[in-house]
Amino acid sequence: MTARLHVDLAALTDNIARVRETVAPAELMLVVKDDAYGHGLHAVVNTATRAGVRWFGAFDVRTGTAVRAAAGDAVRIFTWIAASPDDLRAAITAQLDLGIGDAELLEELADAASDAGATPRVHLKIDTGLHRNGVRPEEWSAFVARAAALQAAGRIDVVGVWSHIAEASDAEDDDARAVFERALQQAESAGILPGVRHLAASAASFARPEFRYDMVRVGAFCYGIRSAGGPSAAKLGLRTIARLEAEVVAVQEETVRIDIGAFDGLPSSLSGRAMVGTPAGARRLGPLGGVQSLVETWTDAEVGDVVTIYGPGRSGEGTATDLAELIGTIGEEIAVRISPLIPRVYT
Ligand SMILES: *Cc1c(COP(=O)(O)O)cnc(C)c1O
pLDDT in tens, 32-66: 999 999 999 999 999 999 999 999 999 999 999 99
Give the Å distance between the CA of 4 and the centre of ligand 1: 26
Helix, strand, coil share of the chain (percent; to 5): 40, 25, 35
Do both 85 and 190 map to the same domain?
yes
Region 196-202: mean pLDDT is 98
pLDDT tens, 76-101? Answer: 999 999 888 999 999 999 999 999 99
pLDDT value of residue 83? 81
Mutation test of ligand 1: which of 217, 223, 226 has the most ligand atoms closer than 8 Å to its C-beta? Answer: 217
Domain boundaries, position 270: 242-346
**pLDDT at position 172:** 96
In a domain, 340, yes or no: yes
How far apart CA 24 and CA 40 sit, in angstroms, is: 27
**Pocket around ligand 1: residues whose beta carbon is below 6 Å from it?**
31, 33, 80, 164, 201-202, 217-220, 332
Largest CA distance in the chain: 75
How many helical (H) and strand (E) elements, i.e. helices and strands, does the chain have?
12, 16
Q: Is residue 334 helix, strand or coil?
A: helix
How many domains does the chain divide into? 2
CATH code, domain with 277 = 2.40.37.10
Residue 341 has pLDDT above 90, yes or no: yes
**Same domain, residue pair 306 and 250:** yes
In a domain, 203, yes or no: yes
Q: Tell me what the mean pLDDT of segment 261-278 comes to.
A: 96
In this structure, are 48 and 123 located in the same domain?
yes
DSSP state of 343: P
Q: Are residues 75 and 164 in the same domain?
A: yes
Same domain, 320 and 204: no
Q: Point out the domain boundary residue: 228, 251, 266.
A: 228
Q: Is residue 87 part of a domain?
A: yes
Q: pTM surpassing 0.95?
A: yes
Which DSSP string do the residues of 214-262 spell out, in sequence order?
TEEEESGGGGT-PPTTS--HHHHT----EEEEEEEEEE-SSEEEES--G
The pLDDT score that the predictor gives to residue 131 is 84
In degrees rounded to 5, what are phi and psi of residue 281?
105, -165
Average pLDDT, the chain: 96
> Of the candidates 202, 228, 254, which is a domain's last residue?
228
Work out the pLDDT band at 313, boundaries 50, 70, 90.
Answer: confident
Question: Which residue among 199, 228, 257 closes a domain?
Answer: 228
Task: Tell me, yes or no, whether 81 and 140 share the same domain.
Answer: yes
Q: Is residue 233 part of a domain?
A: no
Question: Closest by alpha carbon to 8, among 245, 277, 242, 234?
Answer: 242
Within-domain flag for 296: yes
* 103-108: long-range pairs with CB below 8 Å, 24+: 103/135, 103/139, 103/142, 103/143, 103/146, 106/143, 106/146, 106/147, 106/150, 106/156
Running DSSP on this structure, what letter comes out for residue 182?
H
Residues 159 and 265 grouped into a single domain: no
Looking at residue 168, its pLDDT comes to: 87
Q: Are 345 and 4 in contact (CB under 8 A)?
A: yes
So what's the pLDDT on residue 150? 98
β-strands 196-198, 4-7 pairing: unpaired
pLDDT of 255 higher than 90: yes
Cα 208 to middle of ligand 1, angstroms: 15
- Mark whether 13 and 106 lie in a shared domain: yes
Query: Does 256 lie in the same domain as 202?
Result: no
Query: What digits encode the pLDDT tens for the residues 216-239?
Result: 999 999 999 999 999 999 999 999
- Cis bond before residue 194 (omega within 30° of 0): no
Task: Write the single-letter amino acid at 293.
Answer: S
- Distance from C-alpha of 280 to C-alpha of 57, rounded to nearest angstrom: 41
- For position 183, which CATH number holds? 3.20.20.10
Among candidate residues 101, 176, 85, the one with its CA nearest the CA of residue 143: 101
Tell me if 237 is assigned to some domain.
no
Annotate 125-152 with DSSP letters as a single string: EB--S--SSSB-HHHHHHHHHHHHHHHH
Residues 211 and 269 in one domain: no
Asked, for residue 4, whether it belongs to a domain, the answer is no
- pLDDT (tens digit, 9 = 90+) per residue, 99-158? 999 999 999 999 999 999 999 999 999 999 988 889 999 999 999 999 999 999 999 999
CA of 230 to the centre of ligand 1 (A): 16
Are residues 176 and 54 both part of a single domain?
yes
The residue to mutate among 31, 55, 164, having the most atoms of ligand 1 within 8 angstroms of its beta carbon, is: 31
- Looking at the fold, whether 209 and 266 belong to one and the same domain comes out as no
pLDDT for residue 133 = 85
